[in-house]
């Protein structure tokens, strides 16, 4: 059943004064948005999501999230294992150099890495899908991609290897294995084929809707085409049934704090009240960036 989440007032503070961009071409420290009492800028969101190089490469303790969904990624780059009696599904291989770490996490959980049958991705950026070719080499898994991201993936040649694509999906298509079904929702904007995945899990006699959210921010200037994609994507994700919100970066769903509460007796990852928290942040930033962009264009 689709849950109705009360809309919250999001205060958007738009800075119309151009500021110095971060060093090495990083995002500007403006505009600022305030969501649920927290202030964000493009630079602070990037720092929160990516952390340091060490954060991107260091194993986070592998753990069960809910049902047959497990975390096998690093401190700041998400990778999820969905297990079934007929093999497993891996969502996001991250950087190729992280594949041995992901394999270690899978094995520490008691599963066999070669049992991975499908490799899925959230979007065609190296920090999420660069390792696809290596995982396929090690497991023989089928690499599945949203049609709109195929060109970007084909241009991703880690170590000179061709990026494998065994099956092309379209919005609403599903990947099914061992009684588990993952549905692909096209949520374009961050990339043309950015994908939000949904599934259902059973735990302690209850069924929960799990949403693997994808980033919902423009990677650069917001063109009319990108704005149209983001508007559609934002409307879509707000309607998805959700009990367990996840994200392509752990900070997007507060993984560390939830992991710290795993022994509390209740599963902290079942968190319907915060399903749209990150969506609110990304929508507020999108609208603030768009307003700033339009103000800058008008001033020219």
The contacts of residue 100 (CB under 8 Å, 6+ apart) are none
Number of structural domains found in the chain? 1
Q: What is the pLDDT of residue 5?
A: 38
- As given in the structure block, the two tokens for residue 100 are 């041995």
pLDDT digits (tens, 9 = 90+) for 251-299: 999 999 999 999 888 999 999 999 999 999 999 999 999 999 988 888 8
Reported as a pLDDT band with limits 50, 70 and 90, residue 203 is very high
CATH assignment at residue 286: 3.60.15.10
Separation of alpha carbons 200 and 189, rounded Å: 25
State the chain's mean pLDDT as an integer.
Answer: 91
Q: Helix axis angle, 42-50 relative to 277-299, nearest 10°?
A: 140
Is residue 94 one of the residues assigned to a domain? yes
Is residue 141 one of the residues assigned to a domain? yes
Q: What is the pLDDT of residue 26?
A: 57
Is residue 33 within 8 A of residue 285, CB to CB? The reply is: yes
Tell me which residue range forms the domain holding 213: 29-299
Q: Is the pLDDT of residue 2 over 60?
A: no
Separation of alpha carbons 265 and 268, rounded Å: 9
Is residue 20 one of the residues assigned to a domain? no
Is residue 153 one of the residues assigned to a domain? yes
Separation of alpha carbons 200 and 208, rounded Å: 6
Starting at the earlier edge strand, list the strands of the sheet with 32-35. Answer: 11-13, 32-35, 38-40
pTM as predicted: 0.91
Q: Is the pLDDT of residue 7 over 70?
A: no
pLDDT digits (tens, 9 = 90+) for 114-160: 999 999 999 999 999 999 999 999 999 999 999 999 999 999 999 99
The contacts of residue 277 (CB under 8 Å, 6+ apart) are 35, 36, 245
Is residue 14 one of the residues assigned to a domain? no
Is residue 263 one of the residues assigned to a domain? yes
pLDDT digits (tens, 9 = 90+) for 46-73: 999 999 999 999 999 999 999 999 999 9
Which residue pairs, CB below 8 angstroms and at least 24 apart, start in 54-59?
56/94, 56/95, 56/98, 56/127, 57/95, 57/97, 57/98, 57/101, 58/101, 59/101, 59/104, 59/105
Separation of alpha carbons 271 and 258, rounded Å: 10
Identify the residue with better confidence: 63 or 6: 63
Is residue 97 within 8 A of residue 64, CB to CB? The reply is: no
Is residue 279 one of the residues assigned to a domain? yes
Q: What is the pLDDT of residue 30?
A: 86
What's the average model confidence in pLDDT over 227-247?
Answer: 98
Q: What percent of the chain has pLDDT over 90?
A: 85
Is residue 114 one of the residues assigned to a domain? yes
């Amino acid at each position: 059943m689709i849950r109705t989440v009360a809309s919250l007032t999001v205060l958007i503070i738009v800075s119309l004064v151009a500021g110095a961009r971060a060093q090495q071409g990083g995002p500007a420290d403006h505009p600022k948005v305030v969501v649920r009492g927290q202030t964000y800028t493009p630079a602070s969101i990037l720092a929160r999501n990516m952390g340091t190089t060490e954060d991107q490469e260091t194993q986070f303790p592998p753990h069960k999230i809910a049902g047959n969904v497990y975390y096998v990624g690093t401190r700041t780059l998400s990778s999820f294992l969905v297990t079934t009696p007929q093999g497993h599904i891996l969502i996001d291989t991250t950087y190729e150099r992280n594949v041995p770490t992901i394999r270690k996490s899978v094995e520490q959980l008691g599963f066999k890495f070669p049992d991975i049958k499908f490799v899925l991705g959230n979007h065609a950026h190296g920090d999420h899908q660069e390792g696809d070719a290596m995982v396929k080499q090690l497991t023989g898994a089928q690499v599945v991609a949203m049609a709109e991201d195929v060109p970007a993936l084909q241009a991703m040649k880690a170590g000179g290897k061709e990026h494998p694509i065994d099956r092309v999906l379209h919005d609403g298509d599903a990947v099914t294995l061992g009684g588990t079904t993952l549905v692909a929702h096209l949520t374009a904007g961050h990339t043309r084929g950015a994908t939000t995945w949904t599934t259902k899990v059973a735990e302690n006699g209850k069924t929960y809707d799990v949403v693997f959210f994808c980033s919902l921010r423009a990677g650069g200037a917001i063109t009319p085409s990108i704005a149209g994609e983001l508007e559609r994507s934002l409307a879509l994700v707000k309607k998805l049934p959700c009990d367990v919100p996840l994200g392509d970066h752990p900070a997007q769903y507060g993984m560390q704090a939830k992991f710290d509460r795993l022994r509390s007796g209740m599963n902290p990852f079942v968190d319907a009240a915060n399903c749209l928290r990150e969506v609110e942040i990304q929508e507020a930033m999108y609208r603030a960036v768009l307003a700033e962009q339009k103000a800058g264009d008008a001033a020219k």
